[in-house]
Amino acid sequence: MLGQVFYVRCFARMAVAFMGLSATPLHTLAADAAKGEIIAKRWCAACHLVSPEQTQASPDVPSFSAIARQKKPPEKLTAFLTDPHPKMPDMNLTRSEIADIIAYIRSLD
């Protein structure tokens, strides 16, 4: 009987933890701005100014610093990077990579 109570309590705690984790927004799950910077330099720097050291980019696209100053909610940035507009190539970024890029953009503000 005592063992049964223990297992029920453990299961209940795990269920609560899972529900809390599944309700957590993507951008808060272990996003790494340093990894986001690496990804941005690899995939985004051809068009965007992604770092202060970069000197050339397409003139008609916003820099990452300008995007950061817009203070868009992370959910909007996530949606944009998940389903990019026609001018932006679909890079098939993972959810983790998207979260890292957003963390990097937010670090520039």
Domain coordinates of the chain in residue numbers? 26-107
Residue 66's H or E segment, with its range, is: helix 64-69
- Give tens-digit pLDDT for 30-60: 799 999 999 999 999 999 999 999 999 999 9
Type of residue numbered 61: V
pLDDT > 90 in the chain, percent: 57
User: Is the pLDDT assigned to residue 29 strictly greater than 70?
Assistant: no
pLDDT at 86 over 70: yes
* Whole-angstrom distance, CA of residue 75 vs CA of residue 17: 22
- Please count the residues of the chain: 109
Q: Which residue has the tokens 């986001």?
A: 36
Q: How far apart are CA 52 and CA 12, in angstroms?
A: 49
pLDDT band at 27, cuts 50/70/90? very low
Taking the domain 26-107, which CATH number applies? Answer: 1.10.760.10
Q: What is the pLDDT of residue 74?
A: 92
pTM above 0.85, yes or no: no
Nearest-CA neighbor of 91 among 33, 59, 48, 52? 48
Instruction: Place 10 in a pLDDT band, splitting at 50, 70 and 90.
Output: very low
Mean pLDDT of 83-92: 78
